C-alpha cells in the first residue's frame, strides 16, 4: 500500500510511526509545491500569450507613410544652459578653502554632496505646535 493511501485512512494513520508520518507529510508538501509551480507557469504563459496578441500595434514607419507629420513648432522660451565657468569657479574656490584649512597644497576631493535642508512646515503645523506649547504652562 502506498504512503498516500495510508494517510487517507484515519485508522491506519494512527498505527503509522513518526517517520512514516513525516514521509507522508513531505510527499504531500512536494506535491502541493509542484502543483502551485505548474499553475503559476500556466498563468505566466497565458499572460505572455495575451500580451503578444493584444500588444500588436502599427509600426511608426507605416503611420508616417499614411499621414505626414506636421513640422515642429519653434520653442517659445529656449532653455539657457547654466554657464560652465561658474561651476568651475565654485569648485576652485571650495578647493582653495579646503587647502587653506588643511595647510596643504595637494587636496583630493572624493565627494561633494548638496546638504538637504529640513522640509518647510505648513502654517497648520506651526500653529498647532504653538497652541500645544502654550497650553502647557507651569504655575508655581
Residue range 81-137, pLDDT digits in tens: 555 667 888 888 888 888 888 877 666 767 777 777 777 888 898 898 888 888 876
C-alpha separations of 96 from 18, 63, 92, 111 in Å: 77, 58, 6, 16
Q: Name which residue leads in pLDDT, 10 or 58.
A: 10
**Does residue 135 form part of some domain?**
no
Domain residues for the domain of 49 are 3-55
Domains in the chain, number: 1
**Does residue 31 form part of some domain?**
yes
**Does residue 9 form part of some domain?**
yes
Task: Look up the pTM and report it.
Answer: 0.36
Residue 7: what pLDDT? 80
**Does residue 65 form part of some domain?**
no
**Does residue 76 form part of some domain?**
no
How large a percentage of the chain has pLDDT more than 90? 16
**Does residue 99 form part of some domain?**
no
**Does residue 30 form part of some domain?**
yes
Tell me the pLDDT of the chain averaged across its residues: 78
Amino acid at each position: 500500500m502506498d504512503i498516500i493511501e495510508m494517510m487517507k485512512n484515519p485508522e491506519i494513520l494512527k498505527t503509522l510511526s513518526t517517520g512514516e508520518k513525516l514521509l507522508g507529510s513531505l510527499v504531500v508538501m512536494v506535491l502541493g509545491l509542484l502543483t502551485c509551480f505548474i499553475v503559476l507557469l500556466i498563468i505566466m504563459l497565458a499572460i505572455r500569450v495575451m500580451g503578444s496578441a493584444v500588444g500588436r500595434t502599427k509600426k511608426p514607419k507605416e503611420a508616417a507613410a499614411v499621414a505626414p507629420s506636421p513640422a515642429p513648432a519653434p520653442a517659445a522660451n529656449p532653455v539657457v544652459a547654466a554657464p560652465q565657468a561658474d561651476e568651475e569657479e565654485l569648485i576652485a574656490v571650495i578647493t582653495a578653502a579646503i587647502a587653506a584649512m588643511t595647510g596643504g597644497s595637494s587636496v583630493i576631493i572624493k565627494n561633494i554632496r548638496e546638504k538637504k535642508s529640513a522640509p518647510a512646515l505648513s502654517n497648520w503645523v506651526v500653529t498647532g505646535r504653538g497652541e500645544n506649547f502654550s497650553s502647557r504652562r507651569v504655575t508655581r
